[in-house]
Amino acid sequence: MSWQSRIISGPLRYLLKPFLKHVFDPRHAAQVDLLPYVLRHPPYLRYWHRPGGLTWINTGPCLPNAAILYFHGGAYISGSVEGYLGPLGLLSQMTGVEVCAVSYRLAPEHRFPAAFEDARAAWDRLADLGYRPQDIVLGGDSAGGGLAMALLAALCEEGTPPAAAFAFSPWTDLALTGESLELNAEVDPVLPVTRMAEVVELYLGDHDPRDPHASPLYATYPGCPPVFLQYGEHEILRDDSHRLAERLRDFGGVVSEDVVPEMPHVWQLFDGYLPEARESLVRTAEFVQASFADRSR
């Protein structure tokens, strides 16, 4: 653990986590979106919005006919593409692949399955633009990582899987059955487990939390492409990633797990602050580049 991580962990543990734990309504926390003001932007960042809630992001020339279809986090009740422009611009720079970020609808105004429907619509939009399944890598973090995995499962069922998929600390089990929710409740520096059920209710309402479109841990993955999962050893969502990896392997998937100790939830966003963020993004970029290396043209 770097000295930078040790410094940042204090404010996260003693300021952010108590705020999330004691805020009267989780929706109030969702309104405090500081990411656009905190996360760093790489030089020459370019982005533009297109129909269907898609934002295309790059920092220069990119591999033709290739895209990373990315879903931001925020527990399905918060977050925005605008807050992720910096990290996604850096990811595009490091991979040499353009990122297509999805502005999906948020709860409670738009409950499940709105987010999944928007994810599927984004995939269909890329198909309309001429992208083949092997031209696309799915990605996401936290709730967006779960959304990416839910879309992956649907595409595998249809026999049209993407080239690959990756996720940072994905939330894959809205039934909240992972042991790490209890085991890591105190050591997780960011997420308060006591509010998780409220967020699930805001998103799902009375829907089954084991619906594969909401909780990809319970989905099936025939013909699964390579998947790369990064998550923290001390996160309450640790088991959401580890159990998903085992589920994917049950269907013959080749899964790489990158488990990092003592890191806060979705530390990959904090490049320029945490050296571990850059190290993790480098490994992600290598995975994405390898996923496109052998595709037929």
**pLDDT values of the chain reduced to their tens digit, one per residue, 297 residues:** 674 666 566 556 545 555 565 554 655 554 445 566 578 889 999 999 988 889 999 999 999 999 999 999 999 998 899 999 999 999 999 999 999 999 999 999 999 999 999 999 999 999 999 999 999 999 999 999 999 999 999 999 999 999 999 999 999 999 999 999 999 999 898 888 998 999 999 999 999 999 999 999 999 999 999 999 999 999 999 999 999 999 999 999 999 999 998 888 999 998 988 889 999 999 999 999 999 987 654
Residue 88 pLDDT: 96
pLDDT at 99: 98
pLDDT at position 51 is 83
Amino acid identity at 97: V
Per DSSP, the three-state class of 191 is coil
Whole-number Å distance between alpha carbons of 138 and 151: 9
Bridge partners of 100, per DSSP, are: 56, 69
82 class by beta-carbon count within 10 Å (0-12 exposed, 13-18 middle, 19+ buried): middle
- Beta carbons of 101 and 133 less than 8 angstroms apart: no
* Sign of the dihedral through C-alpha 206, 139, 36, 271: positive
What's the pLDDT at 32? Answer: 45
Active-site amino acid positions: 142, 235, 265
Cis peptide before 108 (omega within 30 of 0): yes
- What is the pLDDT, as a whole number, of residue 40? 83
Question: Can you give the C-alpha Rg of the chain in angstroms?
Answer: 18
Question: CATH for 3-292, among 3.40.50.1820, 3.30.70.580, 3.90.650.10, 3.30.70.2860?
Answer: 3.40.50.1820
- Please tell me the predicted confidence (pLDDT) of residue 286: 97
